[in-house]
Structure 1
Amino acid sequence: MRFIIFLFWLLVAVASAPLLVISGVALYLSPTLPDVDTLRDVKLQTPLRIYSADHKLIAEFGEMRRLPISFEQIPQEFIDAILAAEDDNFLNHHGVDPMSLLRATSELLSTGQIQTGGSTITMQVAKNYFLSSDRVFSRKLNEILLALQIERNLSKQEIFELYVNKIYLGNRAYGIEAAAHVYYGKPIAELPLAQLAMIAGLPKAPSAYNPVANPERARIRRDWILQRMLLLGSIDQAAYDEAVASPIIARNHGANPEMEAPYVAEMARLEMLERFGTAAYIDGYHVYTSVDSRLQTLANQSLRAGLMTYDQRHGYRGPEARHPDATPEQLIDLLKPHRSMGGLRPAIVSDVGADTVSILLRNGDSGTVAWEAMRWARPYLSANSMGPNPSKPADVLQRGDLIRVQPAEQDGQYKLAQIPQAQSALVVLSPETGAIQALTGGFSFVQSNYNRVTQARRQPGSSFKPFLYSAALDHGYTPASLVNDAPLVFNDGNQRDDWRPRNSSGDFLGPIRLREAFYRSRNLVSIRLMQDIGVDQSLTYMERFGFSREELPRNLSASLGTPELTPLQIATGYAVFANGGHAVRPWLIERIESAEHQVIDFARPAVIPRAVDSEQQRIDAYIGLTPGEVPPEARVAEQVIDPRTTYQLTSMLKDVINRGTGSRARSLQRSDLGGKTGTTNEQKDGWFAGFNGDHVATVWVGFDQPSTLGRREYGGTTALPIWMEFMAGALEGQPEHDLEQPEGLVVTRVDPLTGRSARPGTPGAYLEIFKEEDVPPPASELDSGGYSSDGGITPLELF
C-alpha cells in the first residue's frame, strides 16, 4: 500500500511539474508583458494621402502602404481563405492551439530545425504588435502568454481585424486592403475568390509567394489554399474549379493615383511636413486640396500640347540615343532605363520602311509610325532656323534610334515626338476665394520636380502693365487720356550708354489714348505713366496686389515688367481685377483629416463679399455646431482697389483679346474674357495672364536657363495657345460670368482723336467708361469755351 501511495504521489509530482514550471515562468514573465488593452487604441503606421477637392487620390507618401479596414468590410471568402491557410481552428481555441504547438515541437525534434512556429492568428497578433521576430524560446513563451491575454480582452472579430491590417504582404503593402490595391488595383471587396486566395497566401512568406516576382510559386500556394477551403467546406467544387483555372494577372499598381497632379502633391507634402514633422508620413493623414480633377487634367493636357506644338515648330533634335548594331533581343533591354514623360513613351526603331517606321515599346508591344506623323521633323539648327524638309522616313529615323512617341488615333499607330527643351507653368485660381484650382509646374515631374509655378522667378514683361495702368486710373487718368507714344532717352550719369527704351514693333504712334496704348502694349506710354505718377508712388500702389516692395526694382524699367516674379504671384495679382478689387491669397489645402477621417483643421480664407454665405456654410459644417454655439465668422477679403478702377481695367483687358496682342483668343467666342500678353527682351519669356469671373489662369513659357524662344515667339504665340486650350475646356458649357458694373461709373461718347466728349457726327466716336468725377465736359461746354482742367475734370495728357 505504501508503494502504491508513493507511486501515486510520484505521478502527481511528475504531472504537476510542467504545470508548476509553466506557472513559474508565467509569474516571472507576466510583469514584463505589455498591456494588451492598448490594442484597442493602437495606431497603425499609415501613409500620408493627398486628394483633390472631388476626392480623387493624387499621391501617397510613406514607407508603408496601408489602408486599414474594419472587420465588416472584409469579404467572408477572404476570412475563410486566411483561416484555411493560417489557423483553421481560430474560432474555437482560446489563443493557443496545443495541437499546432505539438506539431511544431515534433518537427523540431525530428529535424533539429524550426520548421513552423505553431502560431495561431492570435499569437501572430501578439508578435506583430508587441514582440520581435527573433526565433527564441523566450519570445515564444511571451507570445503564448500575450495570446491568452488578448483572447480574454478582445473578441475574435477584433483580433482578426488587427491581424489583417498589420501583416506585411510584399511590395510595401501592409494589410490586406493595401495588398489588394498594390497587386490588383482594386479594393479587396471587389476581388474574386482566386485573387483573395492569392493574397491569403502571402503572410507565410511575402517574397517567396509574391505573384509579381514569383507567379508560379504564388499559384501553387493559391491552389493549396483553395484545396484547403474545399476540404473545410468553405467553397464548393464549382467555385474551386473556377478559381484554380484563373490566370495570374497580378502586377504592381504602385500608389495607384486616380489623377495626375504631382506638383500639387509635392506642395501639399511639404506643407504637411512643415506642420507635423515626420509624423506626417506615418499618422495616416488625409489631405484634401482645393484642386479640381477635371481642371487639373485640362491643365496637364493644355500645357503639354502647347509645349510640344512650340517645340515641333523649331524642328527635330534627333533621337535620344542610337544603337544601330543592337540585336533584336537587345532592343527591349535598351528601353528599360527609360520612363514615360509627359505622356511621351520611349520606343526604339526596329525597322525603317518606305512610308512607315516599325517600333518596339518598353512593355514589349510593337507599333508603327506613319510618314504623315513624322514629316514635321525638319532638323533643328537653332532657335531661329531649321534644316530642309525630309522627304521619306529614312531622312528622319534609322534602325536602333531611341525615340519618343505618343499614341495616334488607331491602335498600334503612334506619332513621332520629342521631349521639349522649353518649359512651362500654368496655375489657375478662384478669383472669389484664392483657391488653387489647378497647377502644373512643368512638362513632366519625372523629368524635373522643379515647380515653376512657385519657384521660377522670371520677368513678366507686359503682363505686368495692368498693375501700373490701375495705378494710373487711380491717379487722375481715364481710359481716354492721351499720352504721347514718342522716343525717350535716359542717362543718370552712372551708365556708360543712354537708355533708349522702344516698343516691340520699333515704331512710335504719337499721342494715343490710354486704352489703345494698353491693348497695343506700347512701352513708351508705360514709362511716361510711371514717370508722371512717380516711381515710389507706383510701386507702393502695386503692393496692393500682393507684391513685396523688395521684389520691385526702384526704377522706371519696372513699368515694362522687369520685376522677377513667379506665375503664382502674377495670377494672384490678376485675381484682384477678376473679383472687383479684393485681395485674395492663394491656398491649396482645403482640410486635413486624421486616419479616422476626423477633421483636424481646414482652410479659412478671406473671400469676396458674394462668396461669404457659401464660405460660412462650409465653416459651420466643419465646426459641427451645437445649439447656441456661435460659429467663427467667414472673413471678407480686403478691398484694395476701387471697384470702378477694376471695372475700367477689365474692359481694357477685354480689348487686348478683342483687338490687341491677345486677339487669337477671340476664337473662344466669349465676351467675359480679359487678359494680357507678356514678352521679355530677346523673347526669353512668353506670358499670358487672363480670367473671367470663375477662373484666373496664368501661363509662362521659357527655358529654365534663360535663352531665346525664337525671334518670332511672343507671349501671344507661346503662352496664349496654352491658356486658350485650357479656358476652352474649363468654360465649355458654362454661362458667361462678368463683373457687375459698380455704382459711380458713367458711359460717355468720346472723340477717338482727342479723348474728349464727342460732338454730334464725330467720325469714329465710341463709348467710354469714366468715373463720375473724371467725366469730360459735354461738347456744349467745349463749344462755349467752358472747358477747364480745374477740379480733376480733364484727363491729364502727357506730351
Structure 2
Amino acid sequence: MDPKTKTNTGGKPVKKAKQSPPALKFIKTVFKILFIMILALMFAGAGIAGGMLYGYISTATPITAEDLAFTQNLTTKIYDRDGNEIDKLTGYDNQDRILVFDKDGEIPQYLKDAIVAIEDERFYNHNGVDWKRTIGATINYFVPFGGSFGGSTITQQVVKNITGDDERTPRRKVQEAWRALQLEKRYEKWQILEAYMNLVYLGNSCYGVQSASYKYFGKPVKELSLAQCASLAGIIQTPGKYDPFTEEGRKNNKKRQELVLGKMLELGKISQEEYDLAIKDDLEFIEKSTVKATSNKVNSYFVDQVIRDVLKDLVASGLDEEYAKLKLYSGGLTIKTTVDMDIQNAMDQVFKDPENFPGGEKQGYTPQAAMAIIDPKTGEILAMYGGSGEKTADLTLNRVTQMRRAAGSSFKPIAVYGPALDQHLITAATVIDDVPVYMNPQKPEQRYPVNFAETINGVYARHYRGLISIRTAVQRSVNVVAARVWKDILGGDLSFEYLKKSGISMEGEGKYVSIAMGGLSNGVSPLQMTAAYVPFVNEGIYMEPITYTQVLDNDGSVLLDKKKTESVKQKQTIVYDEATAFVMTDLLRSVTASGGTASYVKLTDVNGKSIPCAGKTGTSEDDVDRWYVGYTPDFVAAVWYGYDKNITVELPSGSRNPAANIWMKVLQNVYDSEKLESRDFEVPEGVVKKQVCAYSGKIPTELCSKDPRGNAVRTEYFIKGTEPRGNDKCDVHVSAKIDIHSKDLFGRPLLATEYTPLNEVEERVFILRREPYKPKNPGDPYPLDWKYELPVEYSDRYTSPPKVENKKPAQSSPSGESSSDGTSPNNDGSQNGKKGENGLSDFINRLGETLQDIIKPDNDRNTD
C-alpha cells in the first residue's frame, strides 16, 4: 500500500476503517465488567447460600420417634411415693384436646380427604416438601409480585407444631423443610396425617379435630357427615375468620366449606352426587362445647397439680407448650409423685364430711377450704385438697395452689417475728408496750392497728394489755406489737427480703404496716404458707414444695428430675439460723398451749402420748378468711377456710376457728393411720435458757416474783448471745408504800404519806414504764396493766403531823396526867426530851427516809 495515495497494489482505493463512537465503547466495556461481576457474585452467592444451607441444616434437630410417640397412644402412668400406680393419662386434656387414631377407625375418610384437598393436594405424591409451591413462595419472598404462595405442606406443619418454631425467616423454612424430608423417611403418610389432625388448631381453644368436632357439632369426629367434614377442614386456614360461633364466621365457614367440597370433587375424592347433597346440607352448629370424658373417673386435686407441674417443667426444659401437652398425655411417660396415699386418704375423709364446713351457704356460695401437707425435710407435698366436698371434674380450681387470699395473723411469724429474731433485733422476752397507736398515714386520726376483740375479766372489747413480751404477743396474736416491731424495729425492706427467701414474692405490694398483720393486696396461697413455715422445723432451710420427683420417657430414660435437672431443679434457701428456727418454733408452741389462740389444737400418738404442736391462727379483715398454719416434728400443714367470694365467715357463738379444727382432725387421722410415735422438736446448739422477768425481759429481781398478777419470773429460750447478762436487771418492778384505806377514782391505791400510821401502811410491788403512757386522744383506752402502775398521788388522809395536846410535866399537871413516853409536844410540833432538841432537823431526816422508801427498786439480787 502506498501511504501517499492510500491505494493497494491493484490500484483500487482502500476503505477507511469504521470507528465506534466513544460513548458506545464505554457502554460495552461497562456491560462486560458487570457481566463478569454478576457471574462472580452468582458463584460467590451460591457458595454463601450453600454455606448457609449447610449451617441451617447442621443445626436442625430431627423429629425423633419420641416426638411422635403420641401417635402410638401410649398411656402415661402416675405413681405414688411408694411406687403404686394411682392414675393414668390417656389423651384427655381438660376437653381442649382429645386424640383420635386412624388405625382405630376413628377418623372418617371424608375428613382426611377434605384436609388433604384444601391444605396439601399433592400430599401423597411429595416427599415432605412440595417443591413447586416452595419455589413459588421463595421467589415471592424476595420479589413480591402478588398472589399467595403458602409453601408449607402438611408434613411441614406437623414439624412446626412439634417444634413450636414459627418465625418467618429463611433459617426456619430451611430447617423445617429438612426436618419434613427426614420425617417422611421414617413415617408413613397416614401417621403424619394423623399427627397433623391431632395437632392442628381449630379455634375456641380446640386443638385437634376430635375436640373441635365436639365443640362445634357435639359429637365425635367419626360421626361427621361429608358436609361437616368439609366445614371442619375449612376452619384450619383462619380459625377466627371461619368461627362457627359468630354470625359472620358461619357465613364465611359456609363459603369455605363449598370451596373445600369443590376441591374434593376436582380431585376425584367425591362424586357429583355427593357434592350436590353436601352443598345442600344445612350445617347445624351447637352453641357451646358438650365434650364428655369417656370415663366417669375424676382426677384428684393432687393429680391435677402433678399435671400442671409436669407440663410447666416440660416447657421449662425447652419443649413447645402444645407439644409438651401431647407428650404428657400420650407419650407413655412414667411420673413418680410425692403423694402418700394414706395421708391423702386421711385428708379426703375430713374434706368430704359436711360437718366440718360450718357457716352454711351465703349469697349462693358454699364454705370452702384448702389444705396441703409437706414433709419438712424434703419439701415433698404428701397430700392436698383444694375444695370442700367431692371433686366432680378434672382440672377445676385448686384452692391450694391457684387461690390467693389475705393471710391475717398467720403472716406474722414469717413477715415480722422470724426475721426480727434472726437479725437479733428482738428476743422472745423483748417487751413491747401494747397501747393504742396511730400508724395509718392515710388516716392519721384513726386508731390503727387495733387488736382483735376478746373477753377479758368479763369485758368483751378490743383490749390493750400494756407491757407484754414477744412470747405473749405471739401467743395472743396481738396486732399492735406485731405492727410496732415491723415498723419501728425490723422495717419493710428486711421483711420483704425474708419473705422472698421463704418463697413468697412481694412484688406489687406496698411496704405498709398492714403487711405485719397479713393484709396483702395480692394474697398468698395455702401451699405458699405451708412452705413458708417449713424453715421453722427444718433447721431454717426453705424447701421449694414439689409434687413429683422424676418423669421418665417411654423408653425409661430420665426426662425430668427435681434433684438434678437444672431447668426444674428444686430450690433450697437458708432463711434463718437454726437457733432462730427453734426459738420461733417454741414461740409458736405457745399458741397451742394454755392461753393461746389455738389452745384446743391437740394431737396424740398411737400410744396416747401428746404430740408437740406449733402453729398460728389467722383471720383477715371482716372475718373473710380463716387460717391455721401449723406443724409437728413430722409434718407442716396449712388450712384456709372461707368462701370463694369475699364473704364474712359467720360461726355459731363459741365456735373454734374452722381452719384449725380441720387441721387438727386431718393430722389426727394421719397420726392414727401412720401409727407414728410422738417425738419432740430438737434443741440445736446455739440456744440457751435464761430466767427473765416477763414484763421487762431482763434479769429478774426479788420484786419480779411479787408482781400483783403473780410470779413474773419466766424461763426463756434465747439465741446464744442475745440473752440478758451482767447487771441488765429488771427496772420495771418497783416497790412503794401505800395507804391501805385510800383509793383514787379508778380504785387504785394511793401512796402513803410520812404521817400515815404504820398500821395503815402496806408495801406493794408496782410497775414503772420507761416511757409513761400518754393517750393521744381523750377517747383512747388505757392498757390493762395501768392499774398496776406506780401511783403518782398521795393519800390526803394524813397530810400533816397528828395534833397532840400541850401538857405540863406529870409532876405539875393539874390533872395528874403525864405523857406516855415521858415527853411533851412543844408548840412548834417538836417534843421535849432527846427528840425535842433537834425537832426540825429530825423531821427533815425522817421525811427524806420516807421518800426513799416510797420508791425502792431492789436491784441487788440475781435470782437466775
TM-score, normalisation: structure 1: 0.50
How many Å apart are 1:269 and its aligned residue?
5.9
In 2, distance between residues paired with 1:491 and 1:582? 34
How many Å apart are 1:495 and its aligned residue?
4.1
Instruction: Report the counterpart of residue 753 of structure 2 in structure 1.
Output: none
For residues 378-393 of structure 1, what are the structure 2 equivalents within 5 Å?
none
Instruction: Report the counterpart of residue 472 of structure 1 in structure 2.
Output: 420
How many Å apart are 1:274 and its aligned residue?
3.7
Instruction: Report the counterpart of residue 502 of structure 2 in structure 1.
Output: 545
1:686 to 626, 631, 635: 626
Measured at CA, do residues 461 and 782 of structure 1 come closer, stay the same or move farther in structure 2, by a change above 3 Å? closer
Instruction: Report the counterpart of residue 355 of structure 2 in structure 1.
Output: 309
| 2:301–2:384 CA contact under 8 A, matched in 1 | no
How many Å apart are 1:780 and its aligned residue?
9.5
| 1:687–1:715 CA contact under 8 A, matched in 2 | no
Q: Give the secondary-structure state (helix, strand or coil) at the position aligned to 2:554.
A: coil
Q: Which has the larger radius of gyration?
A: 2
Measured at CA, do residues 270 and 601 of structure 1 come closer, stay the same or move farther in structure 2, by a change above 3 Å? closer
Per-residue CA shift, 1:26-72, capped at 9, x if unaligned? xxxxxxxxxxxx99x987222333332232323424059xxxxxxxx
Per-residue CA shift, 1:82-132, capped at 9, x if unaligned? xxxxxxxxxxxxxxxxxxxxxxxxxxxxxxxxxxxxxxxxxxx99779x99
How many Å apart are 1:636 and its aligned residue?
9.2
| 1:683–1:711 CA contact under 8 A, matched in 2 | no
Instruction: Report the counterpart of residue 659 of structure 2 in structure 1.
Output: 719
| 1:480–1:515 CA contact under 8 A, matched in 2 | yes
Deviates more, 1:494-503 or 1:547-556: 494-503
1:292 to 340, 345, 357: 340
How many Å apart are 1:570 and its aligned residue?
0.9
Q: Give the secondary-structure state (helix, strand or coil) at the position aligned to 1:753.
A: coil
Instruction: Report the counterpart of residue 614 of structure 2 in structure 1.
Output: 674
Per-residue CA shift, 1:215-273, capped at 9, x if unaligned? xxxxxxxxxxxxxxxxxxxxxxxxxxxxxxxxxxxxx9937689774543543464367
1:51 to 79, 99, 119: 79
In 2, distance between residues paired with 1:545 and 1:714? 34
In 2, distance between residues paired with 1:451 and 1:646? 30
How many Å apart are 1:499 and its aligned residue?
4.8
Q: Give the secondary-structure state (helix, strand or coil) at the position aligned to 1:666.
A: coil
2:474 to 518, 526, 529: 518
How many Å apart are 1:424 and its aligned residue?
1.0
In 1, distance between residues paired with 2:770 and 2:88? 56
How many Å apart are 1:765 and its aligned residue?
2.5
Matched, 1:430 2:375: yes
| 1:678–1:714 CA contact under 8 A, matched in 2 | no
Instruction: Report the counterpart of residue 719 of structure 2 in structure 1.
Output: 771
Measured at CA, do residues 714 and 642 of structure 1 come closer, stay the same or move farther in structure 2, by a change above 3 Å? farther
How many Å apart are 1:541 and its aligned residue?
3.3
Per-residue CA shift, 1:757-797, capped at 9, x if unaligned? 234693252311112211112679779x9xxxxxxxxxx99
How many residue pairs get aligned? The number is 450
In 2, distance between residues paired with 1:484 and 1:298? 44
Instruction: Report the counterpart of residue 592 of structure 2 in structure 1.
Output: 657
| 1:683–1:714 CA contact under 8 A, matched in 2 | no
In 1, distance between residues paired with 2:654 and 2:545? 27
1:456 to 395, 403, 408: 403
How many Å apart are 1:601 and its aligned residue?
2.5
1:62 to 91, 113, 116: 91
| 1:58–1:260 CA contact under 8 A, matched in 2 | no
Q: Give the secondary-structure state (helix, strand or coil) at the position aligned to 1:757.
A: coil
Letter in 1 for 2:468: I
| 2:365–2:644 CA contact under 8 A, matched in 1 | no
| 1:481–1:797 CA contact under 8 A, matched in 2 | no
Matched, 1:554 2:595: no
Instruction: Report the counterpart of residue 236 of structure 1 in structure 2.
Output: none
| 1:58–1:261 CA contact under 8 A, matched in 2 | no
Measured at CA, do residues 781 and 286 of structure 1 come closer, stay the same or move farther in structure 2, by a change above 3 Å? closer
Q: Identity of paired residues, percent?
A: 27
How many Å apart are 1:675 and its aligned residue?
0.6
In 1, distance between residues paired with 2:573 and 2:654? 35
In 2, distance between residues paired with 1:484 and 1:445? 48
In 2, distance between residues paired with 1:687 and 1:778? 42
In 1, distance between residues paired with 2:529 and 2:621? 19
Alignment gaps of 5+ in structure 2: 1-64, 94-100, 114-221, 224-292, 454-461, 706-710, 734-768, 774-864
How many Å apart are 1:518 and its aligned residue?
0.6
Measured at CA, do residues 773 and 126 of structure 1 come closer, stay the same or move farther in structure 2, by a change above 3 Å? closer
Letter in 1 for 2:629: A
| 1:463–1:676 CA contact under 8 A, matched in 2 | yes
For residues 174-253 of structure 1, what are the structure 2 equivalents within 5 Å?
none
In 2, distance between residues paired with 1:269 and 1:538? 32
In 1, distance between residues paired with 2:465 and 2:730? 26
How many Å apart are 1:429 and its aligned residue?
1.4
| 1:435–1:587 CA contact under 8 A, matched in 2 | yes
| 1:679–1:714 CA contact under 8 A, matched in 2 | no
Instruction: Report the counterpart of residue 347 of structure 1 in structure 2.
Output: none
In 2, distance between residues paired with 1:496 and 1:288? 55
In 2, distance between residues paired with 1:132 and 1:310? 52
| 2:483–2:514 CA contact under 8 A, matched in 1 | yes
Letter in 2 for 1:655: S
Q: Give the secondary-structure state (helix, strand or coil) at the position aligned to 1:664.
A: coil
How many Å apart are 1:566 and its aligned residue?
1.1
In 2, distance between residues paired with 1:649 and 1:715? 28
Measured at CA, do residues 663 and 56 of structure 1 come closer, stay the same or move farther in structure 2, by a change above 3 Å? farther
Instruction: Report the counterpart of residue 753 of structure 1 in structure 2.
Output: 695
| 1:677–1:716 CA contact under 8 A, matched in 2 | no
2:535 to 567, 576, 585: 576
Measured at CA, do residues 598 and 484 of structure 1 come closer, stay the same or move farther in structure 2, by a change above 3 Å? same
In 2, distance between residues paired with 1:797 and 1:728? 46
In 1, distance between residues paired with 2:685 and 2:655? 35
How many Å apart are 1:749 and its aligned residue?
1.8
| 1:290–1:436 CA contact under 8 A, matched in 2 | yes
For residues 604-753 of structure 1, what are the structure 2 equivalents within 5 Å?
604=563, 637-659=572-594, 660-666=596-602, 668=604, 670-710=610-650, 716-732=656-672, 733-753=675-695
In 2, distance between residues paired with 1:644 and 1:554? 28
2:553 to 594, 603, 626: 594
Q: Give the secondary-structure state (helix, strand or coil) at the position aligned to 2:602.
A: helix
| 1:544–1:640 CA contact under 8 A, matched in 2 | yes
In 2, distance between residues paired with 1:663 and 1:696? 18
Matched, 1:498 2:440: no
Measured at CA, do residues 561 and 272 of structure 1 come closer, stay the same or move farther in structure 2, by a change above 3 Å? closer
How many Å apart are 1:527 and its aligned residue?
0.8
| 2:370–2:387 CA contact under 8 A, matched in 1 | yes
In 2, distance between residues paired with 1:711 and 1:797? 42
Measured at CA, do residues 301 and 527 of structure 1 come closer, stay the same or move farther in structure 2, by a change above 3 Å? same
In 1, distance between residues paired with 2:493 and 2:560? 40
| 1:57–1:258 CA contact under 8 A, matched in 2 | no
| 2:359–2:367 CA contact under 8 A, matched in 1 | no
Measured at CA, do residues 300 and 713 of structure 1 come closer, stay the same or move farther in structure 2, by a change above 3 Å? farther
Letter in 2 for 1:438: A
TM-score, normalisation: structure 2: 0.47
In 2, distance between residues paired with 1:502 and 1:464? 16
Instruction: Report the counterpart of residue 331 of structure 2 in structure 1.
Output: 283
Measured at CA, do residues 496 and 288 of structure 1 come closer, stay the same or move farther in structure 2, by a change above 3 Å? same
Instruction: Report the counterpart of residue 185 of structure 2 in structure 1.
Output: none
Letter in 2 for 1:546: G
